[in-house]
Structure 1
Amino acid sequence: HGLIGRRVDVRLTYRAVEIFFDHKRIACHIRSSQRAGHITVNKHMPKSHQRYANTTPHTLRKEAAKVGSNTAIFIERLLSDRPHPEQGYRSAQGVLSLARRYESDRLELACERALIINALSYSSVANILKSGLDQAPPASEAVKPAPPHGNIRGKNYYQ
């Protein structure tokens, strides 16, 4: 990844792909026989990508289930709402890391609230926890209907 944008020489053989920079071999990979397939060597990836290289949706779901059912559902939706589950890894790990900063019970309530309002992102859960909305009563209990009054026309008036 350190040579992105630089000109390199590539030698292709039936079994291998070799990459040269300034006449020095910098990488050698076994060639994939699978059509449109790829092979990635972890140490050739940027450090930020290496962190997620061994993560699987199963491990994220398992870790979320330890926190609680709402967290597990939230992580499941976070991964399944993306074209590729890998696109949700960073957000999922961020949400799970909130359990270290806040209690697991609070994270569970925050995920429940995020699911109710359909806010499926790390920042939504983090903001719910920061503002303390996880400990506030649900919106349906907090808002009471207006008392009956002669000046209130109601929904039938606007038909």
Structure 2
Amino acid sequence: MVGHVEHYAADQMYVDFAGDKLEVVEEMTVGKNCYVSLFKHHYSLPREHVGKRVVILYDADTVDIYCGLNLVATHDRRDIPYTYTWKKEHNLPGHYGPYDKDLEELFKRAAGMDNIVLDYLHEVDARMQYPPKSFSSCRGILSLEKKYGTDRLVAACACATMKTVYGYQAVKEILEQGDDADFLPDEDGTVHGPATIAPAPMHKNIRGREYYSRNNETNNTHNNGNNR
């Protein structure tokens, strides 16, 4: 009984501390990836709080995270499950580091196949909002080329874009079920599938196929100069 009273008192302390803004209290441990979860959506904290117990106060619009009585993170509330909300200033492992560079390499490979694949990978990355997960999914999608070939992978990405389904598993299932058939070109390169394919939404800082083509040309020119 004493434990319940103490827990209630602690909860009431945070509610009183936050005022009328927030309504509900949840207590949990910060994961090794610097995130806590609320309704299956993941929110970031500064990396120095890994392993610590924190309290989450939230309402319909806002998620506030406290360590002790210190407010250590604030996010707009989002309820999309299995996605990530993070802030650059939290200095998370993998962000603006190796994963970003590796994703750029995958985007270059995709650009060499077709703009459809490149746009699809950009959308996968934008929706996942978590570099390690984005990298794993994009790498998996490109690996399907080895089994199914470039044309089928391009067709599958076109099909997935039309269906608005994103990720490795979505593309894999399309290929396994043969749903990409309507998007495959004839010998003359004509596609007789659905008349229109909904373009992937554009996001800030997305680099198109032309960027990677120009970048490769610049690198080749630079390398040739060094070889002289």
Higher strand share: 2
Structure 1: 5+ residue stretches without partners: 5-34, 41-51, 142-159
Within 2, Cα distance between the matches of 1:140 and 1:127?
A: 22
Within 2, Cα distance between the matches of 1:79 and 1:59?
A: 13
1:93: which partner in 2?
139
1:109: which partner in 2?
155
Match for 2:166: what amino acid?
L
1:76 paired to 2:111: no
Query: Structure 1 runs of 4+ off > 4 angstroms?
Result: 35-40, 52-55
Deviations 1:35-86 (A, max 9, x none): 965778xxxxxxxxxxx86852211110111221111111111111122233
Within 1, Cα distance between the matches of 2:112 and 2:168?
A: 18
Alignment CA distance shift 1:57-1:39 (3 Å)? closer
Paired positions, count: 97
Alignment CA distance shift 1:88-1:39 (3 Å)? closer
1:8: which partner in 2?
none
Q: Normalising by structure 1, report the TM-score.
A: 0.52
Q: Normalising by structure 2, report the TM-score.
A: 0.37
2:58: which partner in 1?
none
Contact 2:137/2:168 (8 A) holds in 1: yes
Within 2, Cα distance between the matches of 1:106 and 1:131?
A: 12
Identity, % of aligned positions: 24
1:66: which partner in 2?
112
Contact 1:68/1:108 (8 A) holds in 2: yes
Contact 2:156/2:175 (8 A) holds in 1: yes
Contact 2:156/2:174 (8 A) holds in 1: yes
| Larger radius of gyration between Structure 1 and Structure 2 | 1
Structure 2: 5+ residue stretches without partners: 1-31, 33-88, 183-191, 197-228
Contact 2:160/2:170 (8 A) holds in 1: yes
Alignment CA distance shift 1:58-1:110 (3 Å)? same
3-state SS of the aligned residue for 1:133? Answer: coil
